[in-house]
Amino acid sequence: MHSCLSPCGSEDNTPANLAGMCALAGIEAAALTDHNTVGNCAAFCEAAERYGIIALPGMELTTAEEVHMVCVFGDLDAAQAFEAEVFRRLPPLENDPRVFGPQVKMDSKDTVLGEEHRMLSTATGIGIYEVPGLVAALGGACWPAHIDRPSFSLISNLGLWDPDLGFSFAEVSRSCPPDFLDRPDLKGLPVITASDAHYLDQVMDACQQITLTEKNPAALLNWLKRPDFKAFRPLSS
């Protein structure tokens, strides 16, 4: 999900509001993945903990090829270390809130702490083939976001699924065409669906389930790093 720190995220998508919406939607595990930053992850994880929700700090990274990648980590230190590398490789541009929207940082009770002035809505200098190694070095997991979309996706921008990238699965959007995964390069590829919520009403109800050895962030992250899709199933709507 995206918070008010993402330039395209609604100002209503505060850390506490997102955690509350997850609770109302019956979601037991979630990750905050703002564009090219983890600046609101500490607040979201703290707010989610109040509802008993497993929360992972994360980011929706924009690669040099303008492919969106979901990257999640086991703790804030790892997430912030990844953010430092991303910031180092962001173009030196300043956000214009009149054009792209404000980039607001908050605490877990939605007190405004300030704004991020770097332009987050742009590509980094990190190539897609680098991402798995950078994330793994920090103990995290990553996968391509919304590969069925006509922009900012691995398929739209690269043209095909390259197994050498080493991804175990991909994300598809809720509006993924039924025959999208029939193409030869995607046959048999496991997929998950995420809210990718930019507005509060886009936080979807719980729609898939995995079986974990324990109900905690470490077990969830371990599953995402080495997914066993025999322990995964969609829930009926």
Confidence of residue 178 (pLDDT cuts 50, 70, 90): confident
Q: Is the pLDDT of residue 61 over 80?
A: yes
Q: What does the mean pLDDT of the chain come to?
A: 95
pLDDT classification of 235: cutoffs 50, 70, 90 = confident
pLDDT tens-digit map of 65-106: 999 999 999 999 999 999 999 999 999 999 999 998 899 999
What confidence score (pLDDT) does residue 196 get? 94
**Residue range 113-167, pLDDT digits in tens:** 999 999 999 999 999 999 999 999 999 999 999 999 999 999 999 999 999 999 9
CB-based contacts of 19: which residues, under 8 Å, 6+ apart?
A: 30, 44, 47, 48, 50, 51, 53, 55
Using the predicted structure, report yes or no on whether residue 237 has a pLDDT greater than 60: no
- For residue 127, CA distances in Å to 66, 89, 123 come to 9, 11, 10
Non-local CB neighbours of 131 within 8 Å, separated by 6+ positions: 61, 63, 69, 71, 142
CA distance 108 to 102: 18
Left (φ > 0), alpha (ψ -120 to 50) or beta: where does 52 sit?
left
Q: Collapsing DSSP states into helix, strand and coil, what is residue 42?
A: helix
CA distances from 128 to 12, 24, 165 (A): 31, 35, 8
Identify which has the larger pLDDT, 101 or 20. Answer: 20
% of residues, the chain, pLDDT over 70: 99
